[in-house]
């Protein structure tokens, strides 16, 4: 997916952002939750998401959405990961 289309989808679907983010090589976040829906677009590197016992690797041009309060863990590939995040508040 291209950035312009992804950003248009954020606005259309009520997400704020985007926020530019970077995870350095070897960085990881253990299982946690967020009080908001999150939508990510990977720009460079690899973003690794573990959710409900399943691990998936996302690369450049790939996007995914995670519902608020969903337990998940995050990591990145050996080259790190650069990505955009949109957030949508939950009541």
The domains found in the chain, sorted by start residue, are: 3-89 (2.60.120.10)
Cβ atoms within 10 Å of 53's Cβ, excluding its own: 5
Give the model's pLDDT for residue 90: 84
Q: Taking residues 48-75, what's their average pLDDT?
A: 97
- The H or E element containing residue 56 is strand 54-58
CB 74 within 8 A of CB 23: yes
Tell me the pTM.
0.93
Rg value, the chain, Cα? 12
Give the model's pLDDT for residue 1: 85
* % the chain with pLDDT above 70: 99
Helices (H) and strands (E) in the chain, counts: 1, 6
């Amino acid at each position: 997916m291209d950035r312009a289309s992804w950003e248009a989808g954020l606005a259309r679907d009520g997400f704020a952002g985007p926020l530019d983010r970077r995870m350095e090589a070897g960085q990881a976040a253990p299982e946690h939750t967020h009080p908001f829906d999150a939508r990510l677009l990977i720009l460079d590197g690899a973003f690794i998401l573990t959710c409900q016992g399943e691990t998936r690797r996302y690369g450049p041009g790939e996007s995914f959405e995670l519902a608020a309060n969903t337990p998940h863990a995050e990591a990145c590939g050996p080259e790190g990961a650069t990505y955009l995040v949109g957030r949508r508040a939950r009541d």
